[in-house]
Structure 1
Amino acid sequence: MHTLVFLSTRQVLQCQPAACQALPLLPRELFPLLFKVAFMDKKTVVLRELVHTWPFPLLSFQQLLQECAHCSRALLQERPSTESMQAVILGLTARLHTSEPGASTQPLCRKHALRVLDMTGLLDDGVEQDPGTMSMWDCTAAVARTCIAQQQGGAAEPGPAPIPVEVRVDLRVNRASYAFLREALRSSVGSPLRLCCRDLRAEDLPMRNTVALLQLLDAGCLRRVDLRFNNLGLRGLSVIIPHVARFQHLASLRLHYVHGDSRQPSVDGEDNFRYFLAQMGRFTCLRELSMGSSLLSGRLD
């Protein structure tokens, strides 16, 4: 279902150069719908300019791409278009390289400048479908490249420093991408582009790398941790869990393939398990604990 306002907005965006020129003349209240239509229809030139000149402190995918009064289509339930995602990232990059946000098109007060770009909540079904869509693995790589490029961009242009933007994302990492993502997280420290992870999924990652990655994440932002195929024993679990426990707002913790040897119980094994249980008491916001494919025989009484 589309309203007349939606259809009119879609028509306005048919000619992208003209639409970009018209943005300074449009009321700010239209920007959320403009973003949804541009994202849906892959109007990448307009989408980039919308992010570049965004007039609100927050740009949230979960707010803008859901079902709304003008359009019943919920884009969050679909895998995002690669073109649209890249346009958003390019718009962010352009904004960070402009001393005054939107100076070329729309005079914005600094107190209304974009502070948070929330790209979390995108569909992650793990199934390769349309090659024109972007998986969470691809999204992680794209955001990581942007962080590294921002840090390596050289000296800043004369004039006021760019206003820092916090980019909230869901990150996916494995052995192959670990070093790259670690560099991106390190690059974002003290950078105008601050990377914050809300949902972390690590697959087939050695224990020491998992710990190193957790140490780089913002303690106030992370909400979900999913460790898969890491073959954690009770000793590995006891090493990792205190680093996870520092995320006081964590709501979901998934630990797969944790194996305790019930055939040859040891004092160390019992101590490690008791330590794990003690650390679990530190999670005050945890609502989900999943330990699928784990073997903890004799330790659940």
Structure 2
Amino acid sequence: MVLSLVSLCAKEVVGDHSSSPSWLRWVPRELYRSLLEAAFASCRPLAVGELVQRWPERTLRVGGRRKQGQTAPNRLCIQAMLLAIVRGLSDQRCLLQLLDVSGLQGDEGGIGDPMGGWSLTVALCTMVVQARAGAQRAQRKGERERKRFSVLERERDVKRERGQIDQFNGDKTNNSERTVPGPAGEEELVKGVRRRMEIHKKSEQPGLGGGKTEEKHEDNEVLVHVRADLFVNARSWERVRVALNTSGPLNLQCRYLRVEEISVSSIRTLLDLLSRRGVLGIDIRYSNLGVAGLAELLPLLSTFPALNSLRLHYCNLDFRRDSQEETLRELSQGLANLQELRRLSLTALRLPGQLRVLLSSLPQPLEILELPYLSLSPADLAYLSCSHHTATLQQLDLSENRLDENTLTSIRRLLSQASSTLQHLSLSGCGLTDGLLGLLLPSLGCCCSLKSLALALNPLSMAGLMDLMKMAVRMPSLRQLLYPNPLEDYQPGLPDLPSSAQLLDWPLDETTDISATSSQLNRVLIDSGRSDLLLTCDLLNYDKDLVD
């Protein structure tokens, strides 16, 4: 990545923190963004804090999709930014009104000590609560100052009025020709003091006219809206609930909600606290929902008008165990109310033969459909290949669904219907042999928009793998290929048609030169001139989003 002259200069400027007092107050607002990016890239938390505390614009966005090779911001820099947000609430130079950290979180324990989703969520909630406490302390201090000022004013008024009465009485004794005032004269003076005290008291109350309060904001006034992706589990649930319930200078808004290992009632509580228009996606994982729990949540999900992504992973949904007709009808009605849904991910749901009931109820065609570990039947794949979703699919994941001769026709029809839109395809662990893959290769080669293809954990020989490579290099849009280790690389003893679990656990043969496989595949790349195609067999670190 080639840095611009502004970026290079910004990196040098933020590198010397001792000189910041001399240049920070003179830097134009147009350079703040470049300086902040350089501070994040160079891991300069002090510079990050100083820039954010006096941020000259109404919006600050940190995060989003990272470019290839770009790491997530350092944990210390993120913490410095959040502390500066709180300090900036009382800094007149800070104009910030919206902090958007959506997509900021990195992988826990990644390179450069990034802040993961759970840690970032906890830090944001802590920031919201601290800002509320700081505002309350400032308000109490202001009230004490106003009360002390009011007492002093009243004492001065009383002394002033007493002096006028003494002077009036002195004039009365010296001038016998004047009319002697009765008690009514003193009563008028006392009424004047009371009237001034009432006017001053009203001026202290907000909304009653008169003087202004010394505080920058009232207790319930929002100064900065904080938009983020929230990651909630049993350990952080209570802290997130408190932060979402807190009214104060910082208002926490959720874009994507991810929950893990919490009950249906806790999920309902979180959903009730979220802003209805801000939530774009909900991801529920490893939670014991059951079919009844999901049917209970779906009506609540339909109250989020912008919801376009729903992901359910390992939520103990077994349609074979529950009453199918009634529960499927409830789920179908609930999904029909999700008007903006474009992404649906269902992992390890036990619903063989019921895919039509779920997907046909969706009002809009899906763009992303992920169905791994669903034990899809030939009837399910036949429906999917003819459904109204096929022509709009950009991403399809059928991993760990067994494919054979009975489903081959449906898969070929599916690929043909989605050939112009499909960008990411995963058929890992589908039991594709050399023969089955050879029959699929013409259909795969017609996917003119395909950017990534995952075929890990399929029982392919080296000959089948070479046929795959010859097809891949002829696809100009393809940028990433996840290929399986060929059967020749494993130790002896594998069954004739090993499952994906066996291929995952079976050790590779140490006597075989594993690098020879990658060398042969790379030779095909070099001969075809395809330096833009990334080959990998690393299933754990495979990331299809790197090609976007």
Q: Sequence identity of aligned pairs in percent?
A: 31
Structure 2 distance, partners of 1:263, 1:293, is 13
Q: Is the 8 A contact 1:258 1:295 kept in 2?
A: no
Match of 1:287 among 305, 329, 342: 342
1:152-167 superposed matches below 5 A: 152-153=133-134, 154-156=136-138, 158=142, 159-162=214-217, 164-167=223-226
Separation in 2, partners of 1:248, 1:194: 20
**Which protein is bigger by CA-based radius of gyration?**
2
Code of the residue aligned with 1:247 in structure 2: it is F
Residue 184 (structure 1) aligned with residue 243 (structure 2): yes
| C-alpha separation in 1, matches of 2:321 and 2:253 | 42
From 144, 147, 160, the counterpart of 2:128 = 147
Find the aligned partners of 1:160 and 1:257 in 2 and give their Cα distance.
50
Q: Which structure ranks higher in relative contact order (CA pairs < 8 Å, sequence separation ≥ 6)?
A: 1
Change in Cα spacing, 1:236 to 1:217, as seen in structure 2 (3 Å) is same
Number of residue pairs matched by the alignment: 277
1:121 to 103, 108, 118: 103
Tell me the CA shift for residue 97 of structure 1. Answer: 3.5
The alpha carbon displacement at 1:247 in A equals: 1.3
Per the TM alignment, residue 21 of structure 1 is displaced from its structure 2 partner at its CA by 4.0
How far does residue 261 in structure 1 lie from its aligned partner after superposition?
Answer: 4.6
In the alignment, what sits opposite 1:107? none
Letter in 2 for 1:292: T
Aligned pairs (5 A) from 1:60-209: 60-62=61-63, 75=70, 78-98=71-91, 100-102=92-94, 113-125=95-107, 128-130=109-111, 132-153=113-134, 154-156=136-138, 158=142, 159-162=214-217, 164-187=223-246, 190-209=247-266
Q: Which residue of 2 aligns with 1:109?
A: none
- Partner Cα distance (1:7, 1:133) in 2: 23
> What secondary structure sits across from 1:205 in the alignment?
coil
Give TM-score, length-normalised by structure 2: 0.48
Q: CA deviation at 1:258?
A: 4.6
8 Å Cα contact 2:101/2:226 also seen in 1:
yes
The change in CA–CA distance for 1:131 and 1:175 in structure 2 (over 3 A counts) is farther
Distance in 2 (CA, whole Å) between partners of 1:124 and 1:44 is 17
Say yes or no: does 1:220 pair with 2:277. yes
Unpaired runs of at least 5, structure 1: 68-72, 103-112
Q: Distance in 2 between matches of 1:54 and 1:120?
A: 19
Does the residue aligned with 1:227 lie in a helix, a strand or coil? Answer: strand
Residue 26 of structure 1 deviates from its aligned partner by 1.3
**Partner of 2:24: helix, strand, or coil?**
helix
**Structure 2 segments unaligned to the other structure (5+ residues):** 143-213, 357-548
Residue by residue, what CA displacement relative to the aligned partner does 1:173-225 show, whole Å, maximum 9, x if unpaired? Answer: 111211111111111xx311000111111011111001101111111111111
Give the C-alpha shift of residue 264 in structure 1.
5.1
- Residues 274 and 55 of structure 1: is their aligned pair in 2 closer, same or farther, counting only changes over 3 Å? same
- Secondary structure in structure 1 of the residue aligned to 2:311: strand
Give yes or no for contact 1:119–1:167 (8 Å, CA) kept in 2.
yes
Contact 1:20 1:46 in 2 (8 A): no
- 1:238-277 aligned at under 5 Å gives the runs 238-259=295-316, 261-263=318-320, 265-266=322-323, 269-277=324-332
